[in-house]
């Protein structure tokens, strides 16, 4: 599954001459304000920014979770097991179904052979014990 295009743009730039450029002094002031928790300590700022800060924290927590998942799964890709360009083995997502109230795990494996005039693909569902 391919990634969709991003839906966001940068908030500001520290270099160049774009309209969203912030000076080094402005950036330093923004960082100082953040480092000193002024957005939390100033009641008027917090009442206005609180909901946005809450949502940003939710997003940061989600990104941290996704980074953990990516890190723990990035080395689980199976290389071309057969060693030739004409054969491939792929696995679908792990699925869980309840059978008599107990989870049963399965995964679909597909083997493809494109060495002949016609591509041959065979699929099997593997039930994991």
* pLDDT at residue 10, as a whole number: 85
**Separation between Cα atoms, residue 51 and residue 94, nearest integer Å:** 37
- Return the percentage of the chain with pLDDT > 70, whole number: 89
Rounded to two decimals, the pTM is: 0.47
Give the best-scoring range by mean pLDDT among 64-73, 88-97, 98-107.
Answer: 98-107
Answer yes or no: is pLDDT of 104 > 90: yes
Q: Which residue has the tokens 């059978």?
A: 99
**Separation between Cα atoms, residue 71 and residue 66, nearest integer Å:** 8
Helix or strand run (H / E) with residue 126: strand 120-128
Q: Read off the pLDDT band of 77 (50, 70, 90).
A: low
């Amino acid at each position: 599954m391919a990634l969709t295009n991003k839906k966001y743009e940068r908030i500001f730039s520290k270099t160049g001459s774009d309209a969203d450029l912030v000076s080094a002094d402005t950036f330093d002031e923004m960082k100082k304000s953040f480092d000193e928790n002024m957005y939390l300590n100033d009641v008027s700022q917090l009442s206005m920014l609180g909901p946005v800060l809450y949502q940003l924290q939710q997003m940061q927590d989600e990104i941290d979770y996704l980074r953990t998942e990516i890190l723990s799964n990035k080395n689980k890709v199976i290389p071309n097991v057969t060693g030739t360009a004409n054969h491939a083995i792929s696995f679908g997502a792990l699925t869980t179904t309840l059978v008599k109230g107990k989870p049963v795990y399965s995964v679909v494996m597909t083997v493809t052979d494109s060495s002949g005039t016609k591509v041959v693909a065979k699929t099997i569902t593997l039930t994991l014990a």
